[in-house]
Structures are given as structure tokens and as C-alpha cells.
Structure 1
Amino acid sequence: QTMKEYDRFQKGAANGNTSTRVLQKQLSDNNSKIIITTIQKLDIFIRRNKEHPIYRKHVVLVFDECHRSQFGEMHSAIIKAFKNYHIFGFTGTPIFATNAPSGGNPLLRTTEQVFGDKLHTYTVVDAINDGNVLPFRIDFINTIKIPKNLADKQVFAIDREKALMDPMRIQEIVTYILEHFDQKTKRSQSYKFTAKWDENKQGTIVEHRESRRVMGFNSIFAVASIPMAMRYYAEFKRQLTTTSKNLKVATIFSFGPNEEEIDGLLPDEDLLPNNLDATARDFLDSAIRDYNALFNTNFDTSADKFQNYYKDLSMRMKNREIDLLIVVNMFLTGFDATTLNTLWVDKNLRQHGLIQAFSRTNRILNSVKTFGNIVCFRDLKDETDKAIALFGNKDAGGIVLLKTYDEYYHGYDEDGVHKSGYADLIAELEQLFPLGEAILGEEAQKKFIALFGSILRLRNILTSFDDFEGNEILAERELQDYQSMYIDLYQEFKLAAQGDKETINDDIEFEIELIRQIEVNIDYILMLVAKYHDSNCTDKSILTTIDKAVNASIELRSKKELIERFVAQVNMATDVDEDWRKFVAEQKDTDLSAIIDGENLKPEETRKFIDNSFRDGILKTTGTDIDRIIPPVSRFGGNRARKKQGVIERLLEFFEKYFGLV
């Protein structure tokens, strides 16, 4: 990841290394100006090379995540070997005197002791206020029934492990996760996302990009120990075989000297599972075989293959190909995946470890992802408050954590100003803009757009709260009607502005991405068509429901003509699913042939271009692919540019009409 950041700045600016031998070669090369390595490799290099010219040269050492392994013998050896150096450290969770570890060198316990005076502070509060990361929303789920006369800590002290590892508790937690997975990760909502992966072509690393439409986000499940990870993986596997839910679950762990957090630091797990006991290693091999079957890969726990498994798993997490990853400590620090929005926690976290783990969820992606979701199956509230105060400030909780359900639903006061809640906004909506009445005048339209946009943003947050179900106020059909009005105005303003931006002008901003996330899909429409068919085509109220659902969906509006024509020909002999597929295939071929003939396009190249567009989830309007399908046209007088633009407009309309149906 660090290498890629340097490459974005300047291709080839930095040199990475896969072994200490490569590192030694780079340090002996005067042309290697920036070298990216691990502290472990550098420590091995120093131990093997007591004398080396690099030690006397002016060197700048920059440590990322400098609250971690830099403390201790490795760090001491490094600064003892180099004679002419400057040293800098970066960390989001520095070690202060109040949270310093109790062991080790007393002169190297805090970050300032090791790296010198603090040069700059940019806290999580600053990052949230600047819009660089998201706040957190935390659920605390009680999983152990505690007698009233006993404190939580006393229960843990009596028989902590037995209580936490109880099979019934693990079963109930897995059941809870499966029941709430779609809600927490917003699986009913789709968005476009660019997947990235590297391919080694004859020694050259080639980065691939592919635009995809995906449903919702993915998650990590952090658990306390390897035995617990094994039990959870087995229980997920068992329950998934008995439910209709289709989740891709994976796990990874390796030996760490301490699986539980010590002094707030998450212990390092190495990428060599050799130190695992036979039972754990056999289990991990079995889990990796499940992964291989899922993705047609060939990994195991041997040294090189396990490292490649880690890399492949990391890539698939970032590309949202894994739904839930069970870990002990891996992936809880330094791993960034914008599609990750939920962290399930059955693990004691505190201080650095808590903030680091929570922060896996708060990377910005789009307007659908407005916060990081944390679901704790242990009581971490006090530790959360302490960690936020330590790494933000004592008043940071109101910024770092989202408000409560009641505050979002009923409203709250902030800085002397009352913020209306969801219930208030719905009441205002129904009073000012009753359904069935036209919204007349630009000012009223702008008022409606702003009001309904606020409601959409609040709904996006509230849908992650369990309490919201059944308290939506608006019935589904009423919400669809308001959405339809909202989309009508969006398209009117968009047409008037002759633009394609979701911010139409300075004072009107449409939450189209949030509309997309609560809309219905074609499967829902076909289900309604099947109900209409089963009513002997007599229940006309179903046709009204179909019409309202289509009008309320910005995606389905482009397919409205197709849907209406298909519904019009439904009769008792219709096989809805099969006949719909045939109907779409025939219409698609007819429409594409009309475009090819009308624009005099190259048939074979055009069909290949369209097939690739549906495969990639995007119709690329730049590059050589689009140029290949256009017939020869004189470039003089702008003829070719006009021809190309006309072709693009027709193909985009065709693509929107059939995307998601083929």
C-alpha cells in the first residue's frame, strides 16, 4: 500500500523489498533513494551486518504506526547502528505517560521518549470535522446474563473463559449477526465501485481496475483468541448451511505471543503460522480449503502460500468479495478498505487497540456510507469513552460517536440550536407537501428537495438501528410516492441545467445515491408481476403497485417502457421468469441492431463493446474501444466529434435501459 502511494506521486520513486537480502542490496546501491521495508527486516540486516557504509551516511528514518514494534530491542539496535540520522514517527494513537506499557525499557515507553518532541497533532476529531474520516455508531449487545448482585468484572473473574466460550453464547451471537447482517451492512442497497487488483505478468506488476455495481458493504469480526475464531468459523459454516443467506465468510490467524491485548496494544501476528499448534493449523488449513473452493485459488499454511493467502484475502476484502472476515489481531491495524463499514467485536479492546480496530470501518466511500458501524458483544462502553478522550479530547465523544436513536428520531439541541428529528421532519413533510397535491413554484420545490433530502439522510442512519423497524411512519407506498416526486424534480432540474451532476446548482443538492439505496429492484417487480399472473390477471391494484414502484426508482425508470410492455402481454400461459428473460433478450437485440443500423456502426465490434460494458458495469465513453466501433467520418468541421457524441448518447441510453437485466 505504501509503495502504491509513492508510485502515485512518482512512478518508481520508491523501492520495496521482499527479503533481507534484497534490502541489503538496496542499501548498498547509491541510486536507491527511498526504500520501504519492515522494521523486522531492518533489524535482521543490522544483526547480520555489524559494519556497513550505510551507517555512516546521512539517513532519514520514517516509521509508520510508530506506537507499535518500534519500542524495544529492535528500535534500540537501529538507532545504535546508524550514526548520522534523522528519525520521524507517524501514528494515529501515540503512547502517552497515561497509557504507556508497564514493561520494557523505562526510557522508551512513550512515543515522545522514542521520537522526540511532537511536531504536529491531527486527531480523529480533526479528521472527522474535516470530512476525512467518518464518525462511529456503536451497539452494545448484552450476551451474558449477569445476576444483579454481581458486577461484570466479577463474573469474568469467576469463570470468564467458560462464559465467553460457551457454545450457546457463540451460537446466539452468530444468529444475531446473520439476522442483522443485511441491516448493518446495508445489503439491500447498491452502488458503483471500482475494484482494483494486481497481476504479475512476466515479472511486471500490472494494476487492473474494473467498475462494478455491488450490494452494500462488508465487515470484520474481531474475536479474542484463536480457539474462539475456530468456534465462530465453524458455527457460521453450520448455520449458513441451514439458512438461505449466502455469505462469503473467511478467517485468518497466526501465532502471536499474546492473543489478548496487553497495555492497549494489539499484539503482532506474524505471517508464519509455523508456531500454531497442530489443531489450530489443521483448522486453518481446512478454512483455507473452503476459501480455495470459493475463489478457485490454491493456498495453504505453508510459508509462501500463507503469505499469498494473506495478500489475496486483503485484496478481496478491499474489493468487497468477502462478506465477513473473522480475525484475532490481523487486519485490525493499518488495513484500509473503503467498502468495510461494520466491525463485530467479541474481544476486549482498549486505548490504541480500540481506536485502531474501530477505525477500520470509518474510511469514506460515498453518501450511503455515513458512519462506521461497531457492534460489541462485550461491554466496551467505558473503554470506548476513555480511548476517545485520550486520542481526541475529553469532549470528543459528541463528534466521534453518532447520536442516539432517540436523538435522531425525536431531535436534539446542539450549540443552542434545535435539530429536528425524523418524526418532526416527516410531520413537516406531510403538512407542507401532502401526497396528491402538486408542488407549485420553484421556492416550494426547493423547500421540498431540501426537506426530503434531510429525511433521506436521517433514514440512512436510522435504518442501522434495530429500533427503527416498525417506526418508519411513512408506509412503503407513501415513501415511494414521495420518492417519485423527488425524482421528477431531479430530472426536471437536471434537464433545465443541461448537466449531469447531482448538484444541479449552488442551492439545490439531490441525495440521488440515497434514493438508489432504498429503491426496489427488478426482482421485486417480477415478484409483483407473478402475483398479478397468479390472480388470473384480474387484480389491477398490483399494476398500480408496480407503477408506483417503478416511478419511485431512478434505476427502473429507464426500464419503464420494457416493464410496461411485458406486463401488457402477460396472460395465464405466461411463465413470468422465463418469458421475461426471453423478452429482454429479444428487445435488447432489436434495440441494439437499430442503433447499429441507424448509426452505421461496425456490428461485430459494437456487440463486443456492449458485452464488455455489461460485464464491467460501465460503458466507457473515452479510449480506443469506443473509437473502434464508429465508422470513418471526416474530422473536418467537427463532424467526427458530433458523430461520436451522438453514438455515445444512444449507447448510454441503451446501456441504462438494459443494465441489470442481462
Structure 2
Amino acid sequence: MVGCIFIGIVYLNSLSYDNIKKNISYYIFESVRGLVSMSEGYESEALLEKRFMNRLNAIGYKTVKISDEKQLTDHFRTLLNERNDERLKGTPLSDTEFSRVLHQMVGTRNIFEIAQLLRGSDIQPYGKIVIQRDDNSQLYLEFFDGHDYQNNTYEVTHQVTINTKYVNRYDVTILINGLPIVQIELKRRGVDFSEAFHQIIRYRDESFRQLYRFVQLFVVSNGDGTRYFANGDGKLNSNFMFYWTDRQNNWLNDIDAFTSSFFVPERLHSMIAKYTIFDNDNQRMLIMRPYQVYATEAIVNQAKHHPEKNGFIWHTTGSGKTITAFKSAQRLTRETDAEKVIFLIDRSDLDLQTAKNFNSYLPKSVTNQPALDRTDDTRSLVKQLRSKDDPLIISTIQKMNVAISHSKYKKVLSQFHDQRVIFIEDEAHRSQFGEMRKNINNWFKNSEHFGFTGTPIFSENIGADGRTTETLYDEELHHYLIKDAIRDHNVLGFSVQYIGTIKGKDTTIADEKVPGIDTKAAFESPERLKQVATHIMLNHDNVTKNRQYNAIFTVSSTNMALKYYEVFKKLKEESHSDLKITTIFTWAENEKDAEKKQDEKFKTSRHGLDAVIDDYNHQYGTAFSTDKFSDYFGDISKRMKEHNAQTPDDNIDILIVVNMFLTGFDSPKLSTLYVDRRLQWQGLLQAFSRTNRIEKQSKPFGNIICYRNIKKETDDAIKLFSGGSGNFVVVPSYQELADQFDDKIKRLKEVAITPGDVDDLHNQGEDKLKDFVLAFRDVLRVQNKIRVYDDFSWDKFENQLSEQEMEQYRSKYFAAHQALEQEDGGGEKASILDDIDFEIELLETDKIDVEYIMNLIKSINLGSKESKKSDTNKIKRMLNNADNPELKSKADLLADFLDQIIPKLQSDANVSNELNKYLAKRRQNEIQQFSEKNKIPLDIIDHQLSDYDFYGRTNSQEVMRALSEAGYDFKQKITIKKRIKSFVQKTIKRFAMS
């Protein structure tokens, strides 16, 4: 009964007192009944579904019987009439009016636009539309209340059947006000719940239409494991299925525990109405993870109930602190009486992509200022501070310090001495301990501060000022540690290798501080630098999976960065290597005196960087210099993030740095950190964490390769920032992985002794082929991890599996995948593909397709003329060389946009919005031209395009009827009908960009 007690506790903690009594008896009954059921055998999918429905009933959901799409639409219409009875003045919507409602709510909107309509904005209220009534009057209709969860109707239905090309029957659908908002797919206990994920994707692609396009969230469960994830227009990634937890980060994995916390109407409503973020540049909706939700709630509660206190959030690097901070800031502007909420970041953490993300998440203010201005112009910040229309401001701490320190602004900003101002401060582990923070505190005397940090300052890593994060911010409000993030698969663990490069008589020299030895000279000797650079060049392809990923190399000084750059340059020339290597750093202010002397003896790091940038310009066709350092920085950031194995000429493979890019830089394409310097505490973990962003299965962990013996510093830092236990953080040793590899090879040989034996499995049924796929997939997974170790060599496994055999098995794996795809008949037949997560990405490089090109276009750097030109030329080269049929069909559209629109855009323009407007205009022009050329009424074509969007086909009967009314004879109607069908299919395909 321990499990029953646990479920009860979770449930009671998640409900109000009024709901507790009526549900206790039900849960006791259900728990006992569940034990009996389990004693009789496994719980069937049907029983799991029935019990899940009962649990939803117990926490406030009414079951409604809806069998098909028509009943769903009729039910929504009934509830819509009831909700808007006063506005309708007793006259329900007519058929024509309701068709206008559906067109207004769904029409040609994509899923992203529908999600925005549901939630509304600060300007447009939640869930409201306006239609024209039959009497030509305007009618406002409300279909969702995002403010008060109780002002909505919560229902559940199951086994809704949708008939399209395939017959799809959905397990459980949660309705809010008659709209399908959450779709749940269940599998019996013991079945991998990834099967439910694949089934949902198939349903979404095959039959989600009309009101089902309102689905915001998916939940998948096999009873024991449960995940949730957001709906979207593009490809959904199983890496972004999230666990739900309690406030202490404990998994609520079992469907009972999950339901009693996540599906309580108040919580579900908050997830829909409050805890989503819209990424406008990428046209996608992001759903927040549980620790982000709890941290946001902790901040808002503190501000509401204890405004005299500050607080900090300890969320590990890579866990999405910025999204949490944004959402907290948004809620504080709406739910407190603060005059201003100011989100402060450190300029050194602000790369180009981060700035674009900030501006993508938040709309422009009423004063038309960008949410975040990357310039040094303090006037724009002062203008926002003075404006009543800008309750939420985003700025760098440096710019804020200038604003309050400058004599010309002091009088203007004096009003803020006593007004309530709330600061949210990113990267609080560094930027908030200096004089700038003191100046801000002294100016904004009635202020509250909430800090975010992945690496707090404790007594162990305390700085010279003697202050810890807790003394600065009063108390910790929520924590989510690196061990939690690795457990939840939100970030990767680390593979750390230490490569000895200097040996004394008896031991390896650990660092530069060894008494009696001039270790600095030894560590910086040309022979050692060449040795380290040679090792990196020989192993780089292996550790980055043939340059599918890239690397940062951190060194001790700008002088060392330039020395290493020259060593690499010489080695590349000697070996004819095509590795792309560059460096970036800031130069010291005191070098200006040396520059003035213009003496060769006083060569500065800036002179050296200018030489590097000259090489860079020659390599990439750019025109940067140290006078345009921010543009050079932005271009490097972009190339590091957009690294693609199929476009090697545009990539940076290794970036040499001192401190830059070691904090605040997030790129899934960065997999490796080379280290030739001393690192410790927060600096070490921040640097390591550049490599551990989730990408796909071919990136199993972050590679850390150290040419200094910093094992103690590594162990100490991991222990400190993991709450005392670093067991989750560092991946298994080489020997542990070698043992696993051996075991997986033995299992593969049991299924197919030789690659040739796999051919026989094709004749023995799907199950046998599935056994091979799973066995070889396990071999792939371990090989993908062990390959980065210096100790790994195929010679060591020659007796078990040769490299040649491995390649032959790979070919058989591809063939098995293709065979099973061909056998997948769709419809109601359960496909074996739903059972298998094929990891083809372990075998293939990135594909240049429509989605990839669209992401490149949306991230064009408009702030620099050189970068804009370079980005545009890069994309046009890809379009010219496109071999993807879908991409080729759109290449002229995208190329015209690059030529005609991009050059005219200002630096603060939203490329995504401009592209959407351009495509909409081009689409309408092509429709108009087709209409005029074929003398077909425009409304007929528009209507058929809408039908095709909804149903995946044109309506032949409707076309014939409309053409008859237009006066065409029978022969003309047949010809024109074919033309319309062909044009509609081509147009829908040509302008579909997701």
C-alpha cells in the first residue's frame, strides 16, 4: 500500500480543501482495485484508459460522449452559444454565422497562430473573436478565459474517430469549453511510451484538422512513464518530451501521480494560459518545464506577499533560465503594482542570437522600441524608463549604470528613487557583485531583486569581496541542479579526459604553481604547443563525429591564443588540413599606449587579432576588423551555432578563446571543449557547460579534453554545484564503456552472427527484423560514446566485431528501416515502426531541407552590412545546389525574398514576420494571375484552397456547382476543374514552409 499512500499525498497536496473529501474514498477504492487487477495480470490498455478517465472525473472533468468530428463541432457550437448567451441576446448562431466563427478561429491559420489566438495578448484579450452577424452587426464572442480558470468548462472524451485517408481513433481528449486542448495517448504498462509519441505524430500529420488544430499539449503514458510536450507546425522532437515533477524535482512519472498534479483544472489552465512562450522568429510555441513553472511561481509569490525580501533561483546552466526569467517578468508586470520590471543582463553574456531570442519572445513595446536594444545608446533606455507604456524593460547592467550615473539623466530619473521597481537579474553569479549593482541599489531605493544563477557563490568559491549569493539575495527560492537536469535529459553529462603533456622525474606536473620549477615556461614552450595542437588535429574528426559538431579551445591568455593560432596555421599548411580555426578575444585598454608608439617591439594583442581577422575575411569573404569587433563577434557566434557538416566552407571547427564564449553561449552544435589552462569552481562548470546542450542521439555527452591536470578542480566543482553528489555528471570511464560494448556486440551476434544473416531475417517476419534493429541500435549507442576516447581502437575489438563488419551491419540497418517503412500500411494497423526509435541520425549528417534553410533565413544578421551580405550569399549557394525536391520547388521564392526584401530591412526588423508577409503576398499574386489567365472567379479558387487546407482534397461537387453558376458549359467545367485541382495542389505544396 506504500504506492497508494504516495499517490494520496501527491493528490492532496495538489487540490484545494473543498475537493479533498469527495475524492479520498474514490482513490482508496481505485488503489485497491488496481492492486487486485495487477495481481490478475498486466493492466490492459483499455483498463488503463477507463481508470484514467475515472481519475479525471474525480478531479473535476465531466465525461462527454463524442464519436466523430461532426459531434465535436456540434458540441463546441452548443457551448459557444451558452457562453455568449448575453451577447447573442437569445438568438443562437446561425449556420452561416457559425461557419464564420470556424473560419475566424481556424481558417488558414497554422497551429502557432491558433495558439496565439487562444491566449491573446496584452492588447488583444484572451480567446475572443469578432464576426459579422447575418444582419451585418458586429458580434464579439469569447471562447476561453485565460484569467480565471473557474470561468471555463472542463470535459473529457475518448475514442473520437476521424476518417481521412486513414481511420484514426484518438485515446483521450481533454476539452476546455468544447475545444480539444490536450490529446492523451495511452499504451499498456510495459510498452515503451515512445510508441505513443510516434502514434501522436502520425495522428497529427494525418488527421488533425479543424477544431483538432486547437490541441496545445500532448501527453503520452504507458501507466508507469508519462511525458508532456507542446504541439507545433514543424517536426516534433522526442528529446523535448518533458517529465512532470513536484516542487522538489521528484518525478511524478506514474499516470496516477501525474494526473493528480498536472491535470487538476487550475494547474492545467495555468500551463495553457500562463506557462507558454511564443518564439515569433521560429513560429513555435514553447511549453515550460516544471522547475521553470515552480521558480516563476516562487518569484511571483515572493513579490506579492513579501516585497521586503529579495530572492534567487539556482537553476543549472543550460536549463533555460532566460525563459523562466522572462515569464517571471511578464507575470510581475501584470500581477504586482511595480512601476517598472527591469530584466538586467550582463553585456558580456549577450551574443547576437541571445539578443534575437529576447526580441523574439517579447513583442515590441507600444513606443516601438525593441524589447532589447544591443546598442550602447543610453537614450533609448531612458526613454523606456520614462514611458508609461513600457512596464517591462530589458537592458544590460552596464547601460543601466550609465543611465543613473550620467548628469544629464539624473534629474529625469529622480522619480524612481521611491517608486517600486523590481529587478530580475540574469547570471547573478558574476554581474551582481560589483560597483554597478551598488550604484543601482542606491538609486532605486524601493527596489526588489530576483537573481538567476547556474553557479551560485558559496563559502567554498567566495570572491575577494567576501559575499555569497545568499547574502546578496536573502534566500534561495527554488533550485534545479545539474544532476537533476542530466537525469531529466535536459542537458548532457560530460566525458572528461586528462592528457598529460609534461612529465617530471617522478610524476606529471599538475599546473604552473610547482615550487622550484619554471612551469610557465614549460607549459608555453613551442614544443609543447605543437604537441597539443597536433593531438587536437589528429583527433578532432573523431571526437566531433567527422565535424558534425565543433569545438572551443580555451587557453590562459591572449598571447597564448595568438601563439596557438600561429601553431595551428603552420601545421595546417604542412599537412594540407582544411580545418577551420580562428580566435577571438578582447584586448586590454592599456595597450593603447603601445599602439601609439607604432613600434614593432610593442606588438599588441589587438595587432595580432587584426592579422587573424584578415585571415578570417579571406576564408569567409567578409570585411571585418577590430574597429568592427561587434560584427566580427556576431559572425563568429552565428557560424558556431549554424555549424553543418554539409557546408564545411561556412563552418568554424575550432574557436580559440580566453574567456569569451565560456559563459552565456548556447549551441547544440558545440560538442567539445579543449582546455589548456587552469579552471576552477563556477568558471570551470560554466566552461564545461558550453558542450552539454541536447541535440540528437549522435551527441551523447559533452567532450572535455584537458591538457592540464585539473581533475581535483573538476571533482570539487561538480560536487559543489551538484549539491554534494556528482555521480550523474561524468559519464562512465573507458573501461566501463568497453565492457558495455562487448556485451552489446555479443547480443547482436546472437541475433545475426554475420551481416549476411540479416538478409534471412527479412523472410522470418517483422519481429525478427525488429530484434536485429534493437540489437544493432544498442551497439550504435555505445560505439557513439566510446569512439571519443583516446584508448578506443577497433583493433581491440577485432575478435568480436571488426570495423568492416560494423559498416556492413550499418547497411543492413538502413535496409531494415526502409523495409519496415514500406510495410507500414497506416490506418488502424499498428505499425512496428511505432515500437522502434530508429536512430538513423547516428548514421547520417544534417540534411539541408526547407526547415534548415528557413531557420537560416530567420537568423540573418541584419545589424551588419557585411554579415547580412555573407548570410544571404551563403543561403543562395545552398538554394542553387539544392537536391531536396521540396526545397527546389520553393528555391525561387526564397531567393527572391533574399534579393528583394532582405537588403531593405532595418536592423530591428523581424525577418520571420517579413518572410511570412512576402510569401502571403506572392501567394495571392499567383492566385490572382491564375484567376485572370483562366477566367476563373477568385472566390472559387480561394474556397478550394481553404478546403484543401482542411481536408487534404478539393471539393469537386462544389467546384462544378460554382462553375455552373458562373455560366460555363459541361466541357469547360471538366477542363477548369482539373486545372483548379492541379493549381491548388501545387500552390499548397509550394507555399508550405514548415
TM-score normalised by structure 2 residue count: 0.47
Q: Are 2:670 and 1:340 aligned?
A: yes
Q: Counterparts of 1:93 and 1:641 in 2: how far apart (Å)?
A: 61
SS in 1 for 2:571: helix
Q: Counterparts of 2:753 and 2:508 in 1: how far apart (Å)?
A: 54
SS in 1 for 2:699: coil
TM-superposed deviation, 1:400: 1.0
List aligned pairs for 1:96-245, cutoff 5 A: 96-101=458-463, 103-104=464-465, 106=466, 109-148=467-506, 152=510, 156-157=514-515, 158-187=517-546, 215-245=547-577
SS in 1 for 2:363: coil
Distance 1:446 1:110, change over 3 A: same
Q: Are 2:363 and 1:35 aligned?
A: no
Q: Counterparts of 1:136 and 1:91 in 2: how far apart (Å)?
A: 20
Residue equivalent to 1:507: 835
List aligned pairs for 1:71-86, cutoff 5 A: 71-86=433-448
SS in 1 for 2:388: coil
Residue equivalent to 2:819: 492
TM-superposed deviation, 1:359: 0.6
Q: Counterparts of 1:316 and 1:450 in 2: how far apart (Å)?
A: 36
Give the residue type in structure 2 aligned to 1:457.
R
SS in 1 for 2:714: helix
Residue equivalent to 2:579: 247
Residue equivalent to 1:351: 681
Q: Counterparts of 1:94 and 1:226 in 2: how far apart (Å)?
A: 27
Residue equivalent to 1:424: 743
Residue equivalent to 1:16: 373
TM-superposed deviation, 1:156: 3.4
Greater alpha carbon shift after TM alignment, 54-63 vs 153-162: 153-162
Residue equivalent to 1:637: 955
Q: Counterparts of 1:514 and 1:461 in 2: how far apart (Å)?
A: 11
Q: Counterparts of 1:274 and 1:469 in 2: how far apart (Å)?
A: 55
Give the residue type in structure 1 aligned to 2:679.
L
CA contact (8 A) 1:333 1:360 kept: yes
Q: Counterparts of 1:94 and 1:279 in 2: how far apart (Å)?
A: 35
Residue equivalent to 1:287: 612
List aligned pairs for 1:310-325, cutoff 5 A: 310-320=633-643, 321-325=651-655
Give the residue type in structure 1 aligned to 2:581.
V
CA contact (8 A) 2:427 2:454 kept: yes
Distance 1:111 1:611, change over 3 A: closer
Give the residue type in structure 1 aligned to 2:748.
L
Distance 1:16 1:153, change over 3 A: closer
Q: Are 2:357 and 1:5 aligned?
A: yes
Q: Counterparts of 1:232 and 1:153 in 2: how far apart (Å)?
A: 19
Q: Give deviations 1:114-149, integer Å, cap 9, x for gaps.
A: 112000101111111111111111111101112217
Greater alpha carbon shift after TM alignment, 15-24 vs 234-243: 15-24
Among 293, 309, 313, which residue is 2:632 paired with?
309
TM-superposed deviation, 1:155: 6.6
Give the residue type in structure 2 aligned to 1:237.
K
Q: Counterparts of 1:257 and 1:46 in 2: how far apart (Å)?
A: 24
Among 287, 296, 303, which residue is 2:621 paired with?
296
Give the residue type in structure 1 aligned to 2:742.
A
Structure 2 unaligned residues grouped into runs of 5+: 1-352, 366-370, 644-650, 848-880, 897-914, 945-953, 957-977
CA contact (8 A) 2:358 2:372 kept: no
SS in 1 for 2:724: coil
SS in 1 for 2:778: helix
Residue equivalent to 2:457: 95
Give the residue type in structure 2 aligned to 1:11.
P
TM-superposed deviation, 1:483: 2.3
Q: Counterparts of 1:355 and 1:361 in 2: how far apart (Å)?
A: 10
Q: Give deviations 1:161-181, integer Å, cap 9, x for gaps.
A: 101110000011111111111
Residue equivalent to 2:729: 400
CA contact (8 A) 1:146 1:152 kept: no
TM-superposed deviation, 1:288: 1.1
Give the residue type in structure 2 aligned to 1:516.
E
CA contact (8 A) 1:422 1:455 kept: yes
CA contact (8 A) 1:141 1:375 kept: yes
TM-superposed deviation, 1:486: 2.0
Bigger CA radius of gyration: 2
TM-superposed deviation, 1:229: 0.8
List aligned pairs for 1:213-612, cutoff 5 A: 215-255=547-587, 278-302=603-627, 305-320=628-643, 321-396=651-726, 398-410=727-739, 421-435=740-754, 436-437=756-757, 438-439=760-761, 440-470=764-794, 471-473=796-798, 474-498=801-825, 505-516=833-844
Q: How many residues align?
A: 506
TM-superposed deviation, 1:516: 2.1
TM-superposed deviation, 1:357: 0.3
Q: Counterparts of 2:802 and 2:552 in 1: how far apart (Å)?
A: 34
CA contact (8 A) 1:3 1:36 kept: no
TM-superposed deviation, 1:311: 1.6
Q: Counterparts of 1:237 and 1:80 in 2: how far apart (Å)?
A: 51
Distance 1:256 1:362, change over 3 A: farther
Q: Give deviations 1:1-32, integer Å, cap 9, x for gaps.
A: 45433444342252425222322222222222
CA contact (8 A) 1:229 1:327 kept: yes
Give the residue type in structure 2 aligned to 1:235.
V
Q: Counterparts of 2:617 and 2:773 in 1: how far apart (Å)?
A: 49
Give the residue type in structure 1 aligned to 2:482.
V
SS in 2 for 1:343: strand
Higher relative contact order (CA 8 A, sep 6+): 1
Give the residue type in structure 1 aligned to 2:361.
F
Give the residue type in structure 2 aligned to 1:16.
D
RMSD of equivalent CA atoms: 3.8
Residue equivalent to 2:167: none
TM-superposed deviation, 1:432: 2.5
Q: Counterparts of 1:330 and 1:6 in 2: how far apart (Å)?
A: 20
Residue equivalent to 2:20: none
Aligned-residue sequence identity (percent) comes to: 38
TM-superposed deviation, 1:482: 2.1
Q: Counterparts of 2:507 and 2:955 in 1: how far apart (Å)?
A: 88
TM-superposed deviation, 1:506: 4.1
Q: Counterparts of 1:610 and 1:6 in 2: how far apart (Å)?
A: 26
Distance 1:452 1:246, change over 3 A: same
Distance 1:275 1:26, change over 3 A: farther
TM-superposed deviation, 1:498: 4.8
TM-score normalised by structure 1 residue count: 0.69
Q: Counterparts of 2:437 and 2:629 in 1: how far apart (Å)?
A: 28
TM-superposed deviation, 1:244: 2.4
SS in 2 for 1:221: strand
SS in 1 for 2:604: helix
TM-superposed deviation, 1:182: 0.6
